[in-house]
């Protein structure tokens, strides 16, 4: 190693220069291909832009960009923010900031441009390798969107309104690249006319059934089959100052059959079913459904609803 | 020189590990599935299919819980029913309705097998998933 250089100084100087050069390039490349832009693209844009839905330009297809690139980044950004032809404003997500849209656009451009506009021959390789070096521009984008993500989010377990009832292409579980996902109905389309609740699906299913907003079948084949309803309230006295629990058989037998709960989950006998909130939170007893599909137990007063008699 | 490169490799590995863990965190944060969506991945990944997403909300608009959970014998446990395509084509489980008669039939593979590959079996957005064992609740 040392033999190749007559003196170690030139080598040291070269080593010292590389990071400086790389930093300058990276600050540019970082803005274009920053992880933020990439992840935003994956959640918000990929559903249409990966598949070319409604003529959306695909990042990997240089042909899609031939007519668009000459307009320049500023025009493309304006179209992405304000909408253009079939591109809805901010890709249909009003919660995205200008910075978010710019980051996603820059990420898309970074996937198109290398082929079209190679810079000086030596530089691209260096910039590709060192791209993850944090650049000032990236930080700026992060702070702009910190209002709805990251450490400043109000509560990590609470979903902001913009994240509720998302369509399958955006919900993070469904694969936006699948044709089936594109065909699936969005929850919001069905929920609009249903009574609202503060938890779960944000739908009050019991009220929806009572009002006749929905008419779910009680029998697989027979649309006219009527449920066998048992109108019996069970009051469970609870410890401490929490109001006692009133368990209504009526609302449960509207949806369920006796055999769903008895005897596997609850022995049909008073006092035979010791339970605790810890167990319920872990999926026992009421937690078999409540906290998974029926309203979650964070809605305390829907069960703890009977005010205690004042002690004499 | 050797020591230095060893140390450099160590640092590079640490950076990679931290990067990977951050990537993992952001991925979990990006999931906003509908309450009660069940991902079933008993056999899908192995078979090279996308895992299944079962949307409770869509089905409870059309059927009461009892139809599937009492009449058709679905247990109240994500992944606990050992469902496979043979049983479905035979008319059991999903096949009781998804037969082209009550609901669309099984040749629409993509409509059910629509989850991102390698999504674990879980009830999405459930209390257990959020508070106790993220990604492992049933």
Each residue's pLDDT tens digit, A201-220: 999 999 999 999 999 999 99
CA angle B91, B97, B102 (to 5 degrees): 130
Going by pLDDT thresholds of 50, 70 and 90, the confidence category of residue A257 is: very high
pLDDT value at position B30?
62
pLDDT at A15: 44
Contact call for B132 and A281, based on CB within 8 A = yes
Return the biggest CA–CA distance within chain A. 99
Judged against a pLDDT cut of 70, whether residue A182 lies above it is answered with: yes
Candidate from B32, B109, B127 with C-beta closest to A163? B32
Q: Is B5 on the interface with A (CB under 8 A)?
A: no
pLDDT at residue B9, as a whole number? 54
At B81 the pLDDT is 95
Write out residues in chain B with pLDDT < 50, as ranges: 1-3, 13, 16-29, 135-138
Which residue has 């049933």 as its token pair? B138
Instruction: Give the pLDDT score at A89.
Output: 83
Between chains, do A171 and B127 touch, taking CB under 8 Å as contact? no
Determine the pLDDT at residue A250: 97
Question: Residue A233 burial by CB count (10 A; 0-12/13-18/19+): exposed, middle or buried?
Answer: exposed
Q: Which of A184, A219, A292 is the closest to B67 by Cβ? A: A219
| pLDDT of the residue at B10 | 55
Q: Would you state the pLDDT for residue B17?
A: 47
SS3 for B34?
Answer: coil
Q: Which of B63, B71, B128 is the closest to A282 by Cβ? A: B128
Whether residue A118 has pLDDT greater than 70: no
% residues pLDDT > 70 (chain A): 74
Per-residue pLDDT at B19: 44
Query: What was the pLDDT predicted at A39?
Result: 83
Q: Which residue has better confidence, A43 or A203?
A: A203
What does the pLDDT average to over A284-312? 89
Taking residue B57's Cβ as centre, other Cβ atoms within 10 Å add up to: 21
Verify whether the Cβ–Cβ distance A175 to B36 is below 8 Å. Answer: no
What local confidence, expressed as pLDDT, does residue B16 receive?
A: 47
Instruction: Say if the Cβ atoms of B1 and A1 lie within 8 Å.
Output: yes
The pLDDT score that the predictor gives to residue A26 is: 37
Q: Could you tell me which residue, A129 or B42, shows the higher pLDDT?
A: B42
Residue A28 is predicted with a pLDDT of 38
Q: Do A216 and B61 touch (CB under 8 A)?
A: yes
> In chain B, what residues touch A191 (CB-CB under 8 Å)?
57
Quote the CA–CA distance of A289 and B127 in Å, as a whole number. 10
Residue B17 or A185, more confident: A185
Mean pLDDT (whole number) for A137-154: 48
- A42 DSSP 8-state letter: I
Least confident of A15-19, A23-27, A249-253, A296-300: A23-27
Cis geometry, peptide bond prior to residue B39 (ω within 30 degrees of 0) = no
- Cβ-based contacts of B70 with chain A (< 8 Å): 256-257, 259-260
Residue A288, CA atoms < 13 Å, CB-side half-sphere:
15
* Mutation for B interface: A173, A221, A260, A295, most B CBs within 10 A: A173
Cβ neighbourhood burial of B53 (10 Å; 0-12, 13-18, 19+): buried
Burial label for A232, CB within 10 Å (0-12, 13-18, 19+), is exposed
Q: What secondary structure letter does DSSP report for A93?
A: -
In whole angstroms, how far apart are CA A127 and each of A61, A114, A135, A165? 22, 11, 12, 40
B117 to chain A, closest Cα gap in Å: 8
| Separation in Å, CA of B82 to nearest CA in chain A | 19
pTM over 0.80: no
Confidence of residue A156 (pLDDT cuts 50, 70, 90): low
Tell me which chain B residue has its CA closest to the CA of residue A212. B61
Mean pLDDT of A151-167: 76
**Partner-chain residue, chosen from A149, A174, A292, that has the shortest CB–CB distance to B126:** A292
A166 touches chain B (CB under 8 A): yes
Predicted local confidence at residue B132, as pLDDT: 66
Which residue from A132, A256, A281 is facing B127, i.e. has the nearest CB?
Answer: A281
Query: Percent of chain A at pLDDT above 90?
Result: 41
Average pLDDT over all residues of chain A = 78
Give the pLDDT of residue A69. Answer: 84
B106 touches chain A (CB under 8 A): no
Q: Which of A213, A183, A38 is nearest to B22 (CA)?
A: A38
Which of A293, A296, A299 is the mutation pick for testing B, counting most B CBs within 10 A? A293
**Does the structure show a pLDDT above 70 at A82?**
yes
Contacts of A171 in chain B (CB under 8 A): 31-34, 37
Paired strand residues for A234: A247
- Average confidence (pLDDT) over A229-236: 94
Interface contact flag, B127 A172, Cβ < 8 Å? no
């Amino acid at each position: 190693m040392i033999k190749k250089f007559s003196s170690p100084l030139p080598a040291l100087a070269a080593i010292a220069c590389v990071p400086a050069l790389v930093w300058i390039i990276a600050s540019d490349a970082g803005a274009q291909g920053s992880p933020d832009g990439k992840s935003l693209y994956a959640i918000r844009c990929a559903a249409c832009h990966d598949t070319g839905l409604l003529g959306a330009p695909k990042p990997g297809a240089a042909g899609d960009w031939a007519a668009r690139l000459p307009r320049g980044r500023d025009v493309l950004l304006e179209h992405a923010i304000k909408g253009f032809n079939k591109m809805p404003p901010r890709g249909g997500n009003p919660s995205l900031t200008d910075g978010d849209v710019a980051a996603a656009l820059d990420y898309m451009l970074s996937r198109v441009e290398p082929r079209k506009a190679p810079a000086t021959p030596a530089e691209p390789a260096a910039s590709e390798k060192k791209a993850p070096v944090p650049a000032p521009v990236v930080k700026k984008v992060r702070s702009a969107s910190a209002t709805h993500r990251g450490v400043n989010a109000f509560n990590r377990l609470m979903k902001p309104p913009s994240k509720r009832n998302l369509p399958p292409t955006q919900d993070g579980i469904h694969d936006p690249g699948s044709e089936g996902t594109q065909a699936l109905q969005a929850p919001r389309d069905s929920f609009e006319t249903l009574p609202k609740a503060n938890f779960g699906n944000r739908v009050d299913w019991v009220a929806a059934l009572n009002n006749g907003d929905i008419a779910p079948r009680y029998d697989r084949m027979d649309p006219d089959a009527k449920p066998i309803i048992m109108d019996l309230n069970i009051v469970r006295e609870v410890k401490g100052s929490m109001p006692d629990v009133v368990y209504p058989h009526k609302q449960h037998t509207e949806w369920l059959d006796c055999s769903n709960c008895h005897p596997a989950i609850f022995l049909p006998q008073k006092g035979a079913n010791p339970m605790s909130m810890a167990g319920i939170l872990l999926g026992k007893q009421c937690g078999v459904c409540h906290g998974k599909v029926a309203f979650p137990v964070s809605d305390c007063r829907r069960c703890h609803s009977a005010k205690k008699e004042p002690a004499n | 020189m050797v020591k230095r490169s060893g140390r450099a490799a160590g640092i590079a590995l640490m950076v990679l590990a931290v990067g990977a863990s951050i990537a993992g965190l952001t991925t979990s944060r990006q999931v906003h599935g509908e309450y009660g969506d069940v991902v079933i991945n008993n056999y899908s990944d192995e078979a090279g299919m996308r895992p299944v997403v079962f949307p409770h909300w869509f089905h409870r608009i059309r059927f009461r819980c009892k139809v599937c959970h009492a009449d058709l014998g679905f247990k109240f446990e994500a992944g606990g029913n050992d469902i496979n395509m043979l049983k479905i084509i035979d008319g059991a489980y999903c096949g009781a309705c998804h037969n082209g008669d009550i609901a669309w039939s099984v040749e629409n593979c993509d409509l059910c097998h629509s989850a991102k590959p390698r999504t674990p079996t879980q009830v999405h957005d459930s209390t257990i998933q959020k508070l106790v064992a993220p990604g492992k609740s049933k």
